Amino acid sequence: MAKLDAEKRDDLAKSHFAFPGQRKEPLEDAAHVRNAVARFNQVEGASAHEKDEAWKRIRAAARKYGVELSEKSWHELGKG
């Protein structure tokens, strides 16, 4: 995964994050998408609506970068 230093991360638009309000889980490449899925349940302070919206952004980024997701919803994470 390409590492984002603090300056590059700060330069990213909010739309490049799964959780834009918290600027959590950047979605810059396939590795970041996989990382966002793996860490999804570790994000604290996000409402169910924010998680729904974050999952939509992750799915869109997964399609863009060719990452296959077996889960249809974030509710399925960690159940397998």
The answer to whether the beta carbons of residues 37 and 69 sit under 8 Å apart is yes
The token pair at 64 is 């863009």
User: What's the CA gap between 80 and 65, in Å, rounded?
Assistant: 24
Neighbours of 20 (CB within 10 A): 17
For the chain, give every domain's residue range.
Answer: 18-69
User: What's the CA gap between 62 and 34, in Å, rounded?
Assistant: 8
Identity at 66, one-letter amino acid code: G
pTM: 0.90
Would you write out the chain's pLDDT as a tens digit for each of its 80 residues? 567 878 888 889 999 999 999 999 999 999 999 999 999 999 999 999 999 999 999 999 999 999 999 999 999 998 76
User: What's the CA gap between 61 and 69, in Å, rounded?
Assistant: 11
